[in-house]
A and B are shown apart, each in its own frame.
Chain A
Amino acid sequence: MQPTDTSGERFTGHGSEWRDSNLNKSDAQTATAWVEQRINKRSMLTNKNRVQDVREIMWQLEKDGEIVVHRINDEHDPVMAKTLYGWDKKIPTNQLWHHKSCGQCGNIPGYPASLLWMMNQFETKYLDETEQTSCTAWNYHGSGIGNIESLAAVMLRNFHQAYVSAKAEGKPEGYYYPLVHCGTSFGNYKEVRGYLLTSATLRERVKTILGKLGRLVDGKLLIPEEIVHYSEWVHVMRHKIAERQIIDASQIRATIHNACHVYKMVPQDVIYDDEVLEGDRVAVSTGIIQSLGAQIIDYSTWYDCCGFGFRHIISEREFTRSFAIDRKLKIAVEEANADMMIGHDTGCITTLDKNQWIAKADGNNYEMPILADIQFAALVCGAHPYKIVQSHWHASPVEKLYDKLKIDWRAKKTEFEDYLKQIEAGGTREMLYDPRRAITGGPGYNKTAALAAEAFVPTAI
């Protein structure tokens, strides 16, 4: 090994004082092995004694009359789960307000559609409405445009809307509880919640803004009792979902990609379950896929990110695709010999799904069907691969997976193409819920009458 060039021209990223130790490969590996520990439960328990449960502060602030907590009540049919440090987390399973993901809705619409379809199977009450924005955290993490105050104000505005939304249906405040679809929203909101609960200054600043918007409850900020990701709903519902399974998945070799913003941001709030990989790794997604009988295949880079990078997927795509291919897809194909990779977040699914084709330019063919956990769950419970799972938006070869699941995708595709012709001709559309419910306020609220004129039929169960 050559010593580091000390002429000052080489920039190593290690700082100018850095000098190569000149260890041989084997000694270097021995010397650095201790930093290569994986991000499993054991490695993260080291910080346990220094991490405060901010929910304790939340309850105290409510007692002090400073905030109002949007509670998860019995009407939300909560299920208790355990997080990293063994803390309890209450997961609501009914009366849910869908806080959508811009990337999912814009690019992978079968992702939220599969979730709503699954909820319809259980006759779960929910609201999917227009009066919400993105969390704005993708843009923030990519660009630096935004700040802690804007992130906090956006979060509180969206959660306030969840709290009051049912009034449009003549139901009480707090009826619907927010269910966050996007992993980045989930991580960002939990991080922002921590700052809000620990900083009186931040609370004061955003209270002024929320007051101007008419988004306070009794003159106070409203904070939800738990911040809940959809994958947590799927996880606590996994056994019930498996009871509805009609397609055998036992021959499927599944790799799981856990999303960084789901389990690395505010890790103390993430579900770990003794039934899933001995409780040593984040439980969501792996839990449902295991419950559906597929084979969970481990792979050496399971803890790596996907390469999304926020700004990188738009303007530094060489990084995004190189990382996705070299560190995830190649490993899933060559090492795990997997039939699919399952994720639970927007950016990861997009990155891993869309960056396969370009590898061929370099002579590599790492084809790997990419789906979200809930899309796979819906599929094996009988959801239509195109009308519901909307897999035509996926660039990866999901058809290979359909063949292995013995789903006649060609026939289903033809059905969907016929359905498109029917819509084009002005025919009725299949909808997951009454579209009139989507608009709960503002000018759109007047559209109710117009929407009522449009015929729709509920999607097939």
Chain B
Amino acid sequence: MHHSSRVQKHIGDPLSETPILPRAKLQEIFDDIQNDMRYDHELNGCLNCGICTATCPAAHYYDFSPREIVQLLWTENLEAIYDAMQEKIWACAQCMTCAARCPFGNSPGGLIMIMREAAIKHNMESAKNVLRPFSRVMLKLISTGNQLSPDMINPDHFADWGPNISKIDAPLALLRKAIPMATLNTTKTAWEVNLKTSVELYTIWAETGVLNQLETIDENLFDVISDIMDEKRDDWSDFLDDQDD
């Protein structure tokens, strides 16, 4: 079989009897989506009116339609759901315009989040590829509790933002020091995050399975973050010991 198009690569030859994945696996993926506590809230029915797609920003630029996603889930089209999880679900800009407009109260954007979580859980290569360039944000967030930091915004990373990322030519640390809020005189985090807060956040990550998600999607990043977390937990223990003394 000649595999020339993305369609064939991911859902196989439409004329072939052999599916790309065993039916049981497709069902398992769908069950994970359907068993999410939000699923029944986000999907109430669909008459194919297309209001969601009419003002979807992603539909302007991608091969993507929130209406199609809702229909695939509503009709439990397992093969096509799996195919949509390869690429289409990552096109959504998460603006939730669809949810605000749907006459049925569906949230296609919310359903897509459930599907993205499932794509990660099932270790889909597509999720790994899509999220690789996003790893800086994940590193920053999971290790510090901030999603973005001043040192991430620089011309090396954002050449397309032009020469005016800062209109005053001065070292970043000095410019940050000139912000009249004591919490913002930082360069590596958006604000100074208390150590106690960071350690509490690590507990949340561990207890809610976020670290497992991270390990699935990027083992190297998981290792780096684990080391940082261990260090900060040690610092916290030392602090508590000092308090006891």
B134 touches A315 (CB 8 A): yes
A395 touches B161 (CB 8 A): yes
B residues 108-153 touching A (CB-CB < 8 Å): 113, 116-117, 119-120, 127, 130-131, 133-134, 136-138, 141-142, 145-150, 152-153
**Chain A residues, Cβ within 8 Å of B182:** 128, 431, 433, 435, 437-438, 451
Kindly identify which residue among B113, B152, B160, B194 contacts A144, using a CB–CB cutoff of 8 Å.
B113
A145 touches B214 (CB 8 A): yes
Which of A104, A145, A435 has the most chain B CB atoms closer than 10 A to its own CB?
Answer: A145
Kindly identify which residue among A105, A212, A307, A437 contacts B93, using a CB–CB cutoff of 8 Å.
A307
Return the CB mask of A120-143 against B: 1 if under 8 Å, else 0. Answer: 000000001111111010111111
A147 touches B208 (CB 8 A): yes
Kindly identify which residue among A303, A356, A440 contacts B55, using a CB–CB cutoff of 8 Å.
A303
Interface SS of A by simple majority? helix
**Chain A residues, Cβ within 8 Å of B209:** 147, 149-150
A113 touches B180 (CB 8 A): yes
B134 touches A311 (CB 8 A): yes
Which chain A residue shows the least CB distance to B52? A35
Kindly identify which residue among A13, A39, A209 contacts B207, using a CB–CB cutoff of 8 Å.
A209
Which chain B residue shows the least CB distance to A270? B100
Q: A441: CB under 8 A from chain B?
A: yes
Q: A224: CB under 8 A from chain B?
A: no
Which stretch (A40-48, A172-180, A232-240) binds chain B?
A40-48
Return the CB mask of B169-196 against A: 1 if under 8 Å, else 0. Answer: 0100011111111111000011111111
Q: A219: CB under 8 A from chain B?
A: no
Q: A297: CB under 8 A from chain B?
A: no
Return the CB mask of A405-426 against B: 1 if under 8 Å, else 0. Answer: 0000000010011011001100
A309 touches B167 (CB 8 A): no
Q: A310: CB under 8 A from chain B?
A: yes
Q: B217: CB under 8 A from chain A?
A: yes
**Chain A residues, Cβ within 8 Å of B217:** 145
**Chain B residues, Cβ within 8 Å of A133:** 145-146, 193, 197-198, 201
A212 touches B203 (CB 8 A): yes
Q: For residue B150, give the distance in angstroms from its CB to the closest CB of chain A.
A: 5
Q: For residue B62, give the distance in angstroms from its CB to the closest CB of chain A.
A: 7
Kindly identify which residue among B7, B134, B147, B179 contacts A103, using a CB–CB cutoff of 8 Å.
B147
Q: B51: CB under 8 A from chain A?
A: yes
> In the bound complex, what is the Cα–Cα distance between A149 and B38 (angstroms)?
11
A15 and B134 in contact (CB under 8 A), knowing A139-B147, A388-B180, A390-B179? no
Q: B58: CB under 8 A from chain A?
A: yes
Which chain B residue shows the least CB distance to A17? B71
A357 touches B161 (CB 8 A): yes
A: contact size bracket: 35 or more
Q: For residue B126, give the distance in angstroms from its CB to the closest CB of chain A.
A: 11
A187 touches B195 (CB 8 A): no
Kindly identify which residue among A43, A201, A431, A444 contacts B37, using a CB–CB cutoff of 8 Å.
A201
A residues 297-352 touching B (CB-CB < 8 Å): 303-305, 307-312, 314-315, 317, 319, 321-323, 327
**Chain B residues, Cβ within 8 Å of A69:** none
> In the bound complex, what is the Cα–Cα distance between A104 and B153 (angstroms)?
12
A209 touches B175 (CB 8 A): no
**Chain A residues, Cβ within 8 Å of B95:** 260-261, 264, 305, 309
Kindly identify which residue among B71, B192, B194 contacts A15, using a CB–CB cutoff of 8 Å.
B71
Which chain A residue shows the least CB distance to B136? A314
Which chain B residue shows the least CB distance to A209? B207
Q: A202: CB under 8 A from chain B?
A: yes
Q: For residue A144, give the distance in angstroms from its CB to the closest CB of chain B.
A: 3
B180 touches A354 (CB 8 A): no
Which chain B residue shows the least CB distance to A145? B213
Kindly identify which residue among B117, B191, B208 contacts A153, using a CB–CB cutoff of 8 Å.
B208
Return the CB mask of A1-39 against B: 1 if under 8 Å, else 0. Answer: 000000011011111000000000000000010011101
**Chain B residues, Cβ within 8 Å of A276:** none
B93 touches A309 (CB 8 A): yes
B113 touches A195 (CB 8 A): no
> In the bound complex, what is the Cα–Cα distance between A150 and B207 (angstroms)?
8
A13 touches B204 (CB 8 A): no
A residues 84-139 touching B (CB-CB < 8 Å): 100-107, 109, 112-113, 116-117, 128-134, 136, 138-139
> In the bound complex, what is the Cα–Cα distance between A431 and B174 (angstroms)?
15
**Chain A residues, Cβ within 8 Å of B127:** 144
A321 touches B194 (CB 8 A): no
> In the bound complex, what is the Cα–Cα distance between A290 and B175 (angstroms)?
33
> In the bound complex, what is the Cα–Cα distance between A201 and B38 (angstroms)?
12
- Beyond known contacts A143-B134, A312-B93, A433-B181: 18 more, CB 8 A cutoff: A44-B100, A112-B181, A128-B183, A129-B183, A130-B183, A141-B113, A144-B127, A147-B208, A195-B38, A305-B95, A307-B57, A309-B94, A322-B61, A354-B162, A392-B175, A393-B166, A432-B181, A444-B194
* 15 A-B residue pairings within 8 Å (CB atoms): A15-B71, A35-B51, A107-B190, A139-B141, A148-B37, A157-B201, A264-B100, A267-B100, A310-B94, A323-B60, A358-B160, A358-B161, A392-B166, A413-B168, A424-B174
Q: Which B residues form the contact surface with A (CB < 8 A)?
A: 5-7, 14, 36-38, 41, 49-51, 54-55, 57-65, 67-68, 71-72, 80, 88, 90, 93-97, 99-101, 103, 105, 113, 116-117, 119-120, 127, 130-131, 133-134, 136-138, 141-142, 145-150, 152-153, 158, 160-168, 170, 174-184, 189-198, 200-201, 203-205, 207-210, 213-214, 217, 235-236, 239
Q: 10 closest Cβ contacts across the A-B interface?
A: A357-B162, A144-B116, A442-B196, A435-B182, A133-B145, A106-B190, A315-B133, A309-B93, A305-B95, A264-B100
